[in-house]
Structure 1
Amino acid sequence: MKKVLVLYYSQSGQLQSVMDQIVAPLKQCDGIQCDYQKIEPLTPYPYPWPFYRFFNVFPEAVYLDGCPVKTLQIEEQYDLIVLGYTSWFLSPSIPVTGFLQSDQAKKVFNNTPVVTVIACRDMWLMAQEKMKTMLKDLGAHLLDNVVLTDQGKSLYTFVTTPRWMLTGKKDAFWFFPRAGVHENEIASTSRFGDRLCKALQHDEERDSLPLLNNMGAVNVNGKLIATEHIAHRSFLIWSKLIKKAGPQYSRGRNVVITIYVIFLLTLILTIVPLNMLVRKLLSPFRKKSLAKAVKYYEQPSGK
């Protein structure tokens, strides 16, 4: 009997819908025991988020300061772990980080193959780089990565995603598309569960090789790679400043957050579009380096 552990943390329910699709074939698979668990912080985070509370977790997310989480009722050893997470400020969500930093994770992830599943905006590269490091520190082996990103152009999601997080509204409005991953794309993720089922039945997870090659698991937008790197460097600087201003929810921290949000909005309305235009003009001269970067971030699963 093969044992699979599926873990996730979801606020809006979108990631849970994705994980449900992946889990369904595994639960029906002969010879597979599938334990499906939600990571829960000891102190729940709100959804929708109040404005200042949303930005108050910004520094902790960026610097991987995980929160205390509830102990899961799981076994200590599995043949495969499927870990679903969302990106908070270009980093894994704080509850997922908190669990990966727990003593329980140290036991269950050690020497175990892992498939990560991400559902978020179109910027997830830095979050996955941090995830790779945390998994390596736990002694886990990353076999595959599945990524689903919000529908709509990148500039549109600068509006639709914050609106969704801060108000709970994800419907289309004006010329903006509906927020979140398209329902058809979510439904199609069951194919990954089917493939994992067959792989486990044939002991393929023991080979430490990707199981989801040529299945459209990852699609990297090369145009956003440099933008995400720049944004992450900015996040590191501002997170440090916000942390130094005071503890969470303090007046000092909120003052710096206000300054940062004004800076961020100015950046989005001016520098970001200009940067995207410049990079588009330069892209014909950077095809080789861009292709190399795309190939790297598509690993281990590839397209």
Structure 2
Amino acid sequence: MRCLILYYSMTGQAEKAATQAARAAVEAGWDATLCRIGMSDPADALARPMNIAASKKWTQGAQKGIMVPIAFDPPDAPDARYDAVLLFSNTWGDNPSVPIRSFLESDQAKALFAGTPVGVYIVCRRLWQNNLRIVRELVEQAGGHVLAGEAFMHPGGQWGSLIQTITYLYRTDSGRTHFLGFPLPRYGLSDEAMARIPGFTGALLAPAATNQEGKA
């Protein structure tokens, strides 16, 4: 049984989560392939520290559903056939990130998803419902079948996590510990979110395996 694990990661959080899912898939007896989606134009590549203009451009671009040329690492991973696909979708604003949406609306997605069960992991600070809704629609438009989707979030409340995320993206260190005297949550997925990934992955892959065994 083979599964492809697709993700885009600027700050490393989606990559960390995808790697955790790959370990869980292997432990469940699957042959798991990790594949990173990136923006192929060097002018589009994102890195810290960001500036206000860049963050505004890409957040608004995600809201408008813009698409950019993308590349894969390894480059030929999406061309193979898989029994399941696990997709990690970052939240920009309250939409899928531009690289993820660019993939989902591509011809390559149609070829990959045709008749394939898909699990969706929303990697986010807070807003995730609209991201999941859009990803589900686009996967199914491309011919895939979404088994389930779940959000994996950063720690802290709405305002603390927002302040930490903004300052983290504009800096090169590990982020602030306090703002105006108030403690801030650390940047990144919470320990609770990371701990849920193996169980969610196992629950996704079990029915996919059963379905393929039935076809055999």
TM-score bucket of the superposed structures, by smaller chain:
0.7 to 0.9
Q: Does the 8 A contact of 1:85 with 1:118 survive in 2?
A: yes
CA distance in 2, matches of 1:64, 1:22: 27
> Hey, what's the Cα distance between the residues in 2 that align with 1:143 and 1:197?
9
- Whether the 8 Å contact between 2:139 and 2:145 is mirrored in structure 1 is yes
Contact 1:82 1:115 in 2 (8 A): yes
Q: CA deviation at 1:83?
A: 0.1
Between Structure 1 and Structure 2, which shows a larger proportion of helix residues?
A: 1
Deviating 4+ runs (over 6 angstroms): 204-207
The answer on 1:90 being equivalent to 2:91 is: no
Mapped to 2, the partners of 1:158 and 1:89 lie a distance apart of 11
Counterparts of 2:175 and 2:167 in 1: how far apart (Å)? 7
Letter in 1 for 2:25: L
Match of 1:36 in 2: 34
Equivalent-residue separation in structure 2 for 1:195 and 1:142 (angstroms): 13
Amino acid at match of 2:9: S
Q: Deviations over 1:170-229 (max 9, x none)?
A: 34224222233223531442223344454444337979xxxxxxxxxxxxxxxxxxxxxx
Paired-residue identity, %? 23
Q: Would the aligned equivalents of 1:80 and 1:205 in 2 still touch at CA under 8 Å?
A: no
Give the aligned partner of residue 73 of structure 1.
76
Q: Secondary structure at the match of 2:33?
A: strand
Secondary structure (helix, strand or coil) at the match of 1:45 reads: coil
Q: Which moved more, 1:18-27 or 1:2-11?
A: 18-27
Q: Tell me, what secondary structure is at the counterpart of 2:193?
A: helix
Instruction: Give the TM-score normalised by the residue count of structure 1.
Output: 0.62
Q: Which structure has the greater CA radius of gyration?
A: 1
Match of 2:62 in 1: 61
Give CA deviations for 1:24-79 in whole Å, capped at 9, x if unaligned.
0212443x221110001102222332221111223321111121001531234221
Question: Any stretches of 5+ residues in structure 2 without a counterpart?
Answer: none
**Given that residues 8 and 37 in structure 2 are in contact (C-alpha distance below 8 angstroms), is that contact kept between their aligned partners in structure 1?**
yes
Q: Give the distance between the partners of 2:67 and 2:177, measured in 1 at CA.
A: 33
State the number of aligned residues: 205
The residue that corresponds to 1:133 in the other structure is: 137
Aligned match of 1:49: 50
Q: Is the strand fraction higher in 1 or 2?
A: 2
TM, length-normalised to structure 2? 0.84
- Conserved 8 A contact 1:151-1:178: yes
Secondary structure of 1:10's counterpart equals: coil
1:144 aligns with 2:156: no
